[in-house]
Chain A
Amino acid sequence: MMKRRLRSSISTTWQTAVIVVAALLLGALFIAFAGESPLECYGVMLEGALGSMSRISEIMIKMVPLMIMALGVSIAFRAKLWNIGAEGQMIVGAITSAVVGLYIPLPPWLHMIIAPIFGMIGGALWAMIAGWLRVRFNANEVITTMMLNYVALYLLAYMVYGPMQEPGGYNYPQSSSMAESIQLTPLGAGLRVNTSVFVAIGVLILIILFWRSRFGFTVDLLGHGTKITNYAGLNANRTIIWTMMLSGALSGLVGWIEVYGVHFRLLEGIGAGFGDLAVVITLLGKMSPIGILFASFFISALLVGGATMQRMTAIPYSIVDIIQGLVIVLLITQPMIQQKLQARKARGIYVE
């Protein structure tokens, strides 16, 4: 049993590695099209991503929120709830956690507990709307989470231009900055990476345990259909709502990390593009916690390395988007290709 599981996870790792390499090779075609040497450009990218301690710190800064968010998205995805509203849930979490830091006077240690909880509640409630609409009205969660993304985006814009705007701050779309005592502390002098790394590790462990828990099994069961869940004597509707809330809570937590650890204030454009990135990571990681850990590292390195490549070579940053898009397209064709290969193999045996 153990052995079989190990073997299957090794073969999954292999397949994913093949897909990543294939996406990079196709990306190389684009680089060649621009008249540059792919080998040289990827070299610059690698150097830019892993070349020094501060580069690694930059990767971690991106990896922490993206991994947590992808873990959240994976909970919904495994239940076949296509929650593509992680970005909106994160934005609402950022707003609610920022409210605590800006307006509620508390001792700093209490702030460090209350603010992330508020962020999680914000994200969870925002995701709950979509879950409830699905249960009550059978409204497709893809569309509702997507629409709620835009509503959250404009809610944030309203907040940072309106009620939460920094007083006397030259009309920038941002709030006042958080008091230093409640900011997340950097792990080393001159590095941006901060204590949120430990939060990420904690979340990762909790999610690994989650999939072994009773509720984790229920979520996986929901992925096989609402009817099956109900036959098993479990309430599918309630599971849908809780799954969405849990998924949203993790995105909301990321909102807190971005406000208190990266930007130190609420501002327009916080978390732009995070939702799509989280989806890419979730899929690349095959929705398993460890897979997501590696996938989030790869994608973060791609983002950081891509930025360096743009500065040092004639290759635009959008190559990063191209590679990610290719990764998704290749990933979703994989089951069918595998099926065809297996069918061919089976036919071969039959002929013999």
Chain B
Amino acid sequence: MWNEIFSLTFLTSLLAATIRLATPILYAALGQIFTQKAGILNLGVEGTMIVSAMAAFTVSYFSGSLWLGFISAIVVGVLWSSIMAWLSNTMNAVQVIAGIGLNILGAGVASYVYRIIFGVRTLPPQIDPFPVVELPLLSKIPVIGPVLFCNNVPTYIAFLLIPVSWFLMERTTFGLRVKMVGEHPRASDAKGIHVTLIRNIAVLIGGACAGAAGAYMSTAYMNLFTDNLVQGQGFMAVAVVIFSKFRPGWALVGSLVFGFSNALQMRLQAIGAGIPNQLLLMLPYIVTIFALISTSRKAEMPSAYTKPYVRMER
């Protein structure tokens, strides 16, 4: 067994699976960095992802275009998260509850619409997922090549989004405003920043990214839609954001930790290792709790985290 684990093929396939499993979490986490930095804890990512996954699959199935499916999923993600934006910024609802409500609603709507459109079948309808695109030359490097440069296009896009979101957050006025409304909404308001608008945009960015994450699940990682396709990945993304202390680069590290522990248990199961895979599956969640402890202590969370901004109140 150990020979098998330390072989090059095992390592390569393990790391390749890590990337595939980390990508949807990375997508969702990058968007949530903006949402959470603006002071909004959107626990409804899970719901956004499942609705978008359904939309991506359905559109791809009927139009035959994966990219049309991918884009529709992003649009659906934005529309769906606009409910969250309205609830948290206009209705000043308790964000935790709004998120839970939208998760239940999302799971219901996705499963309902899918069943109405496709009916009950013995074999689920399938599509051809995004193909692997081998980058010339780079993909020929041993181990690194097949792991990093033999992926589908949505994966490459996710990795490109890391520097993009870093730039947006750290080097633009918009990023500064997002941080400001999360840190001190009243001061931002006094400065003439439209707090509600910035917060709304931050939630919608999160929705767009969760939409892409959902699309990745049903059209790139898998080639079909099932009710339990997302299974906690939205929550993992929320956890990764906190783990990363809102830094895009660290969000990649967090996503890879989740992806790796998931990939490891799958691979170990595949070769029939006698290690209980359930204990491995616990790992990312325990890591998150520890990461949360180290973050919360230094008070690195935005000061107005989960607090609605009311102009009239003091």
Chain A residues packing against B (C-beta within 8 Å): 30, 33-34, 82, 84, 133, 137-140, 142-144, 146-148, 150-151, 154-155, 157-158, 161-162, 276, 279-280, 283, 316, 318-326, 328-329, 331-333, 336
A328 contacts B104, C-beta separation under 8 Å: yes
Known contacts being A325-B104, A328-B104, is A161 close to B278, with CB within 8 Å?
Answer: yes
- B138, CB-defined interface residue at 8 Å: no
Can you list 21 contacts pairing A with B, beta carbon distance less than 8 Å?
A34-B112, A133-B292, A137-B293, A138-B296, A138-B297, A139-B296, A140-B292, A143-B239, A143-B292, A146-B43, A146-B235, A150-B235, A161-B276, A276-B103, A276-B104, A279-B97, A283-B97, A321-B108, A322-B105, A323-B108, A332-B98
- Indicate whether B286 reaches chain A with its CB closer than 8 angstroms: yes
Q: Do A140 and B92 form a contact, CB below 8 Å, given A162-B276, A325-B108, A332-B97?
A: no
Which residue on chain B has the smallest CB distance to residue A160? Answer: B278
Q: Nearest Cβ in chain B — how far from A157, in angstroms?
A: 4
**Which A-chain residue is minimally distant from B97 (CB atoms)?**
A332
Shortest Cβ gap from B288 to chain A (Å): 5
Main secondary structure of the interface of A (DSSP, over half): helix
B94 with A332: CB separation less than 8 A: yes
A138 to B107, CA, bound (A): 31
Given the contacts A133-B289, A142-B43, A276 and B281 also touching, CB distance less than 8 Å: no
Measured between beta carbons, the chain A residues less than 8 angstroms from B238 are: 143
Q: A143-B239, A325-B101 are in contact. Are A150 and B87 (CB under 8 A)?
A: no
Residue of B nearest to A340 (CB): B91
Any chain A CB within 8 A of the CB of B106?
Answer: yes
Q: Give the residue of A139, A316, A329 whose beta carbon is less than 8 angstroms from that of B293.
A: A139
Near A by CB (< 8 A), chain B positions 45-71 give none
Q: Is the CB of B108 within 8 A of A144?
A: no
Interface residue B115 (Cβ < 8 Å from any Cβ of A): yes
Q: Which chain B positions have C-beta within 8 A of A154?
A: 278-279, 281-282
Q: Would you call A328 and B100 a contact (CB within 8 A)? A: yes
Contact B112 A318 (CB under 8 A): yes
Evaluate contact between B98 and A137: CB separation under 8 angstroms. Answer: no
- B209-244: CB near A (< 8 Å → 1, else 0) gives 000000000000000000100001001001100100
**With known contacts A144-B292, A279-B97, A325-B101, A150–B282 Cβ distance under 8 A:** yes
Contact of A318 among B92, B100, B111, B285 (CB under 8 A): B111
Which residues of B lie under 8 Å from residue A331 when comparing CB positions? 101
Asked if A328 and B112 make an inter-chain contact with CB atoms under 8 angstroms apart, the answer reads no
Q: Is the CB of B106 within 8 A of A325?
A: yes
Instruction: State whether the Cβ of B40 lies closer than 8 Å to any Cβ in chain A.
Output: no
B96 near A324: Cβ-Cβ < 8 Å? no
Candidate in B96, B100, B297 with the most chain A CB atoms within 10 angstroms: B100
Cross-chain contact B297 with A137 (CB below 8 angstroms): yes
Listed residue (B104, B278, B296) with the most chain A CB atoms within 10 angstroms of its CB = B104
What 9 A-B pairs have minimum CB-CB distances, sorted nearest first? A325-B105, A321-B108, A328-B101, A322-B108, A332-B93, A158-B278, A318-B111, A325-B104, A316-B115
Q: How many A-B contacts at CB < 8 Å in the complex?
A: 144
Q: Is there contact, CB below 8 Å, between A333 and B100?
A: no
Is B239 a contact of A137 with CB atoms below 8 Å? no
Let me know if B111 and A321 touch, CB within 8 A: yes
Q: Is the CB of A151 within 8 A of B286?
A: yes
Task: Check A324 against B297 for contact (C-beta < 8 Å).
Answer: no
The residue from B91, B100, B286, B301 contacting A336, defined by CB atoms under 8 A apart: B91
**Closest chain A CB from B104 CB (angstroms):** 4
Measured CA separation A34–B113 after assembly (Å): 8
B147 interfacial by beta-carbon distance below 8 Å: no
Q: Are A336 and B106 in contact (CB under 8 A)?
A: no
Closest chain B residue to A163 by CB distance?
A: B276
Check if A329 sits within 8 Å of B87, measured CB to CB.
yes
- Residues in A with CB closer than 8 Å to B105 are 321-322, 324-326, 328-329
Q: Tell me how far the C-beta of A181 lies from the nearest C-beta in chain B, rounded to whole angstroms.
A: 32
The answer to whether residues A318 and B282 also contact, given A133-B289, A144-B289 and a CB cut-off of 8 A, is: no
Within the complex, what minimum Cβ distance (angstroms) separates B259 from chain A?
Answer: 16
A327 to chain B, nearest CB (A): 8
| Interchain nearest-CB distance for B84 vs A (Å) | 10
Within B283-311, which residues are at the interface with A (CB < 8 Å)? 285-286, 288-289, 292-293, 296-297, 299, 301
Closest chain-B Cβ to A260's Cβ sits at a distance in Å of 24
The CA-CA distance from A260 to B286 in the complex, in Å, is 30
* Cα A161 to Cα B269 with chains together (Å): 14
B79 within 8 A of A: no
Min distance, Cβ B256 to any Cβ of chain A, angstroms: 18
> Who on chain A is nearest to B94 by CB?
A332
Query: Is the pair A280, B104 in contact by a Cβ cutoff of 8 Å?
Result: yes
Contacts of B279 in A (CB 8 A): 154, 158
Instruction: Please state if B278 and A157 are interface contacts (CB–CB under 8 Å).
Output: yes
B87 to chain A, nearest CB (A): 6
Evaluate whether A333 and B276 lie within 8 angstroms (CB atoms) in the complex, with A143-B242, A318-B115 already known.
no
Tell yes or no: B83 within 8 A of A by CB. Answer: yes
Would you call B270 an interface residue if the criterion is a C-beta within 8 Å of the partner chain's C-beta atoms? no
Question: Measured between alpha carbons, how far is A146 from B46 in the docked complex, in Å?
Answer: 13
Across the interface, do B296 and A140 meet the contact criterion of CB distance under 8 Å?
A: yes
Chain A residues near B96: list those with CB within 8 A.
82, 84, 142
Query: A34-B116, A82-B96 are known contacts. Are A147 and B239 too (CB-CB below 8 A)?
Result: yes
Q: Contacts A138-B297, A328-B97 given; 18 further ones with Cβ under 8 A?
A: A137-B292, A139-B296, A140-B242, A143-B288, A147-B288, A147-B292, A155-B282, A158-B279, A276-B103, A279-B100, A320-B108, A321-B112, A322-B108, A322-B112, A324-B105, A328-B100, A332-B101, A336-B90
